């Protein structure tokens, strides 16, 4: 009788990979929801409300979905995202990158990071002129 070699690690590896892929998919969906809908809506609301603080109009420097995607991806890559992640980025994010993108979106939405600073850093990585607000 011939012995069949069964790899006992295979189901665990498959379950681990399935869990990782599921976690990655959830993080990417959240990142896309934030950058396509939540953050642009928040930015437009801030602009409509004309919130004033210390005699200055408080608005976000960006409001389009692709700008939020640029800023988030550049920030997690610490460089222009297209130098690090193949296009389309959302399909090629690693689990770590997807989780970092989701976490950064949550921080932006909760005003835990300065979006102007992130936007200016993104532009600097791309050799674009930062907008000065005087």
Q: What is the pLDDT of residues 59-69, one digit of tens each?
A: 899 999 999 99
Q: What is the DSSP pairing of strand 56-57 with strand 52-53?
A: antiparallel
For 8-99, where are the E strands, in sequence order? Answer: 52-53, 56-57
The SS3 assignment for 24 reads helix
pLDDT tens digits for range 53-95? 545 566 899 999 999 999 999 999 999 999 999 999 999 999 9
Q: Which residues pair with 53 in a beta bridge?
A: 56
% of the chain at pLDDT higher than 70: 78
CA separation (Å) from 118 to 37, 66, 111? 19, 14, 12
> How much is the pTM?
0.79
State the pLDDT confidence band at 133, using cuts at 50, 70 and 90: low
What pLDDT score does 129 carry?
64
pLDDT digits (tens, 9 = 90+) for 96-128: 999 999 999 999 999 999 999 999 999 999 998
d(CA 65, CA 16): 33
């Amino acid at each position: 009788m011939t012995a069949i070699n069964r790899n006992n690690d295979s189901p665990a590896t498959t379950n681990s990979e399935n869990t990782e892929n599921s976690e990655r998919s959830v993080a990417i969906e959240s990142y896309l929801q934030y950058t396509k809908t939540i953050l642009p809506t928040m930015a437009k609301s801030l602009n409509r409300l004309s919130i004033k603080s210390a005699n200055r109009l408080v608005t976000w420097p960006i409001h389009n979905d692709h700008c939020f995607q640029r800023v988030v991806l550049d920030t997690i890559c610490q460089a222009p995202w297209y130098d690090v992640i193949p296009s389309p980025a959302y399909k090629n994010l690693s689990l770590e990158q997807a989780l970092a993108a989701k976490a950064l979106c949550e921080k932006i939405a909760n005003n835990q990071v300065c979006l102007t600073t992130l936007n200016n850093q993104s532009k600097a990585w791309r050799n674009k002129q930062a907008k000065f607000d005087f």
